[in-house]
Structure 1
Amino acid sequence: MSETPSWAAPPHEQVTYLTTQQIPTVVRKAEEVLPDDMPGIFDESFTALVPALQEHGIQIAGPAFSLHHRMPGATMTFELGFPVATPLDGELEAGGITFYPSSMPATQVATVSHLGGYDGLSGAWGALMQQVGADGRQPALPFWEVYVTEPSPDMDPSTLRTDLVLPYEG
């Protein structure tokens, strides 16, 4: 098992098991979000957060992520933000949004890189969970996505890389 963040390594299309380290983050907490509302929440959050972190001298230490605290259903509850070099001291207001200090957990995870558009993430998650179960492990919460490739309006979605990270027991 490795402690290197999956996003720092080349894409890995086979499920890889590793141990993550606790990493401080700055996040927006999103509760009971409809799937169709996610793109807008992501856009407004990252548009406000990046300059606010720069203004406060807080260094972003990796790609954007979303950390999900429960399995998705009709709605989703998650945190979205960035890992940071030093923890945020208190709340941060930016663009009418409150951001909070949080952290990525230190735990054992299964991870795989999804290469392609966001519309393929559901299938990639299904395949990851199936492989983890086949390997005799039980998926656990919270799970997260790391958006290794920063999206832009004019990019080819097939060039996107999203790392899926699934804690497990067993």
Structure 2
Amino acid sequence: MSSSPQSSQSPESPRPPAPSLSPPSPEAAPAGYPDLGADPVVGVRLLAAEAVPTAVVRAANVRMATISDFFDAAFGKAFPALFATGMTPVAAAFALYTRITEGAEAEVDLEIGFPLGTPLPDGSGDEQADDGLRVVPSELPAGEVAVTSYIGPYDGLGEAWGKLMGEIRAMGREPAVPFWESYVTEPSPDMDPTTLRTDLFCVVGYPDDAA
């Protein structure tokens, strides 16, 4: 992974009028989740998902202006060393956000890593520490998760997130944290950025949950 989104949006986008229809019921997450399959998700699907174990590098107060350096260091150094021990990811790399601020000095708290078939044992990443980066066990959360696919360059992710948040609210649900993006198409120097596929995931609740 040589680059990262520069303008992901938090669930703070303007709220449309409350819908009059009953909120939809979630469908079971597909086999292989968080891998959503070869075809991009058109529109928004609401899934009932189980937790998925992950191996991540966790960081707080990362400035959006320098986030690509963090991605490059973690994916270029910490994870190759871990996977050399025999751990194997079962789906594409992701970035999971637990906090994001707005403005010129925007910062995020996040985890970046890979889904695993079995949990990463505690302490297994200790020897993989490099430049202060440490791979630790975590998970993608269980619950109701809204998903969609975005096709295009990373600089369009902010707009894609804003659209997803609005569509979640139009369904009678409320975006929550964490939310994460899965880099289904691994970028390469010679590829067309307009063909990149990124799957967007957001935990959802009901408007009353935020009261």
Q: Same fold (TM over 0.5)?
A: yes
Distance in 2 between residues matched to 1:61 and 1:110, nearest whole Å: 21
Match 1:145 to one of 174, 177, 181:
181
Distance in 1 between residues matched to 2:85 and 2:101, nearest whole Å: 33
Distance in 2 between residues matched to 1:86 and 1:129, nearest whole Å: 31
Structure 1 residue runs of 4 or more that deviate by more than 6 Å after TM superposition: none
Distance in 1 between residues matched to 2:176 and 2:138, nearest whole Å: 19
CA shift for structure 1 position 103: 0.6
- The two structures have a TM-score, normalised by structure 2, of 0.76
The answer to whether the 8 Å contact 1:112/1:165 transfers is yes
Kindly indicate whether residue 130 of structure 2 is the aligned counterpart of residue 95 of structure 1: yes
Aligned residue for 2:108?
76
Q: Which moved more, 1:101-110 or 1:53-62?
A: 53-62
Kindly indicate whether residue 63 of structure 2 is the aligned counterpart of residue 28 of structure 1: no
| Structure 2, unpaired ranges of 5+ | 1-26, 207-211
* CA radius of gyration, larger in: 2
CA shift for structure 1 position 113: 0.3
After superposition, the Cα gap between the structure-2 partners of 1:50 and 1:71, relative to the gap in structure 1 and judged at 3 Å, is closer
After superposition, the Cα gap between the structure-2 partners of 1:120 and 1:45, relative to the gap in structure 1 and judged at 3 Å, is same
The answer to whether the 8 Å contact 2:78/2:134 transfers is no
CA shift for structure 1 position 6: 5.2
Report the RMSD for the aligned CA atoms in angstroms: 1.4
Larger strand proportion, structure 1 or 2? Answer: 1
Distance in 1 between residues matched to 2:83 and 2:177, nearest whole Å: 31
| Structure 1, unpaired ranges of 5+ | none
Match 1:85 to one of 108, 113, 117:
117
Distance in 1 between residues matched to 2:101 and 2:157, nearest whole Å: 13
SS at match of 1:19: strand
Q: Tell me the matched-pair count.
A: 170
Aligned residue for 1:131?
167
Amino acid across the alignment from 2:139: S
After superposition, the Cα gap between the structure-2 partners of 1:3 and 1:165, relative to the gap in structure 1 and judged at 3 Å, is same
Distance in 1 between residues matched to 2:55 and 2:71, nearest whole Å: 14
Distance in 2 between residues matched to 1:63 and 1:164, nearest whole Å: 12
The answer to whether the 8 Å contact 1:149/1:161 transfers is yes
- The two structures have a TM-score, normalised by structure 1, of 0.93
Amino acid across the alignment from 2:49: T
